[in-house]
Amino acid sequence: MPRYADRGRALGSTLWLSAVVLSGCPLNPPPEVAGHSRPAHADSEQERMIEEQIVARGVRTPRVLDALRRVPRAAFVPPALAAEAHRDSPLPIGHGQTISQPFIVAYMTDQLDLSGNEKVLEIGTGSGYQAAILGELARRVYTIEIVEPLARQSRELLERQGFENIEVRTGDGYRGWPEQAPFDVIVLTAAPPEIPQPLIDQLAIGGRLLAPVGRWHQELVLIRRDEDGIHRERLIGVRFVPMVGEARNRETSP
């Protein structure tokens, strides 16, 4: 399994991350992106989270860190868990789902290495936290959530947070969002046994797709598409909730 040193980061050992995500990232977007008009408002607990859980583990891209400061993580957890919002672990958000560990959101965002002009598809909105980070850093975000109450809650929360560049759809993300394709970036925040072919087909030339892949043994896989085809890079071991809907049906079909 690759080490962080493979990307020029000196962390010294492979990381296994408890990163059960359901929701489902980019850099320095243009001024018209709604999220960028908001000042940083990280409180002391959020700043400690960023420094101790994220920077200390090797994610140091300033624009990624700035996005993490602008999005109030506590707003994306149930009120009863607000005091635990910055804990170094996933947290339950209802419907058998979780908001992911802060580090895994930062790590996945950092891996995408975006310019800010990209159109992004996220499969698995969940709490909306990853979508909000994407909304801070990308030109446009399309995000799909299969659990209807979560899709509704996230849509309302993202609107209250002032994001005008994020569109939430309720449905199965296996086949993507064909009418908005192609996408510069596609991010999965639930693990299919294999990356759905419709999502690969909707990836633009020059685009990147990031997904946890596997059932019992999962790895975060980065796909790059260029004129020569598809190129896969295995990153780190992770643990996400399984992708349901058509992905699950295909896995269990004889």
Please give the positions annotated as active site.
Answer: 100
Q: How far is CA 134 from the centre of its chain?
A: 7
The C-alpha atoms of residue 132 and residue 130 are separated, in whole angstroms, by: 5
Q: How far is CA 80 from the centre of its chain?
A: 24
Give residue 65's identity as a one-letter amino acid code: L
Contact 191, 177 (CB under 8 A): no
